[in-house]
Amino acid sequence: MDRFEQCVRGLLALAPTDERDLHLRVDALVDPYLAGFGAQTAAARRRLADAFLAKAPVTTARERIRARIMREDHKGGPLSLR
């Protein structure tokens, strides 16, 4: 299994949770995967978010995880608890 699939599987494991530290757990999976992408980081984030959404069950945390992958959540700070 390559790094991409490992990261997607890890993110899918987080989908049923809605913990306050979810942003830290998402970062712990996504940041190492993105290391070395350089100028391609935005495209890698989009690919990862799309793969996650395609496989993730509809949960409260699903959109929060996608937003964190894309860094659309308060400029990299903790995700809001909607």
Say if 39 falls within a structural domain.
Answer: yes
What's 1-69 look like in SS3? CCHHHHHHHHHHHHCCCCCCCHHHHHHHHHHHHHCCCHHHHHHHHHHHHHHHHHHCCCCHHHHHHHHHH
pLDDT, residue 80, reads: 45
pLDDT, residue 75, reads: 47
Q: pLDDT by residue (tens digit) across 46-81?
A: 999 999 999 999 988 899 999 999 998 764 554 444
pLDDT, residue 74, reads: 62
- Give residue 12's domain range: 3-75
- Tally of domains in the chain: 1
Say if 81 falls within a structural domain.
Answer: no
pLDDT, residue 59, reads: 86
Q: pLDDT by residue (tens digit) across 56-65?
A: 999 888 999 9
Say if 82 falls within a structural domain.
Answer: no
